Structure 1
Amino acid sequence: MSTLEEHIDISVPLETAWDCLHRAETYPQCVDGVREARSQGTDRTHLDLDAGGQAKECDVQITDDSTGNVMRWHTTSGPDLAGTFSLLPLDQEHTRLQARFEYDPGTVKEAFGGPQGFAQAAAIERGLRTDLQQLKHLVEQER
């Protein structure tokens, strides 16, 4: 399993960022490759994906640790992926979002195509940074 961690500071209170992470309908606006996202109860989300020009689907299980401001997720169908979003209040109006993404490089290549090896890791890192920037923009615009 490979792991990637990135963080971004967002100019909103922690509660605002937490709420946005839990609104599946906003995922297509901030996660590249997600065409549609539908909540299925309080702890599951169904994703329709564009994976290298091919339509794919996956289901995601979400587990919250609200006392630690951590949202854990993992796929229950589709490619085997997992991660966490941890929120840290910097002050009353600013929050640090730490994203951790765990994946098997072979699974990602098989499911989504694209490069292998170092090029794949670099592409995933760029994608995660872009997604975090888009999330930051979305959350701060809604404010």
Structure 2
Amino acid sequence: MSTVTESVDVNVPIGTAYNQWTQFEDFPKFMDGVESISQTGPTHTHWVTKIGGQTREFDAEITEQHPDERVAWRSTSGDTKHAGVVTFHRLADNETRVTIQLDWEPEGLVEKVGSAVGVDSHQVKADAKRFKEFIESRGTETGAWRGDVSRPGA
């Protein structure tokens, strides 16, 4: 399993950063390699990605979500095994630290070598920077879903 962690400070209030992150269908606007995301239910999404010329499709489930604090997910089907969490930390009234942690299972030689040399880390860092540019240039979120989701037994 490969783990990537990246943080970015965005110059918007915590609610704005969090609300934007819940708008999964907007991810292709700032995530390189994400072709599309469809919200198939309150806690379920379908992803289509194209990275390194390889297209993958998978379903993911939100396993934990607490407004202005965190969103966690895991893949549930398809050919990509991954899980992640994004946390939001208030630094000031108009400044928020967004921390992304992604755990994934590289498949095949190309992905394993790419992970070993840090290509995945570079990708997450670039996506975090594009998220910062996206939300700061707008100044407001494109929408919001502030539902609370807890893991069973949590």
TM-score above 0.5, yes or no: yes
- For residues 48-83 of structure 1, the C-alpha deviation after alignment (integer angstroms, 9 at most, x for no partner) is 111322332111111333167110011111211011
Letter in 2 for 1:33: G
Structure 1 equivalent of residue 150 of structure 2: none
Structure 1 equivalent of residue 133 of structure 2: 137
Conserved 8 A contact 1:52-1:114 = no
- Bigger Cα displacement from structure 2, 132-141 vs 54-63: 54-63
For 2:44 and 2:9, the matched residues in 1 are separated by 27
Structure 1 equivalent of residue 152 of structure 2: none
Structure 1 equivalent of residue 123 of structure 2: 127
By percentage of residues, which structure has more helix?
Answer: 1
TM-score, scaled relative to structure 2: 0.81
Taking only the aligned residue pairs, the percentage that are identical comes to 26
For 2:129 and 2:68, the matched residues in 1 are separated by 23
- Bigger Cα displacement from structure 2, 21-30 vs 63-72: 63-72
Structure 1 equivalent of residue 147 of structure 2: none
Structure 2 equivalent of residue 88 of structure 1: 89
For 1:67 and 1:50, the matched residues in 2 are separated by 30
Conserved 8 A contact 1:9-1:94 = yes
For 1:22 and 1:128, the matched residues in 2 are separated by 17
Conserved 8 A contact 1:59-1:75 = yes
Residue 100 of structure 1 pairs with residue 131 of structure 2: no
Stretches of structure 2 lacking an aligned partner (at least 5 in a row): 140-154
Structure 2 equivalent of residue 31 of structure 1: 31
TM-score, scaled relative to structure 1: 0.87
1:18-97 pair list within 5 angstroms: 18-66=18-66, 69-78=69-78, 79-97=80-98
Stretches of structure 1 lacking an aligned partner (at least 5 in a row): none
For 2:16 and 2:138, the matched residues in 1 are separated by 9
Letter in 2 for 1:92: D
Letter in 2 for 1:135: F
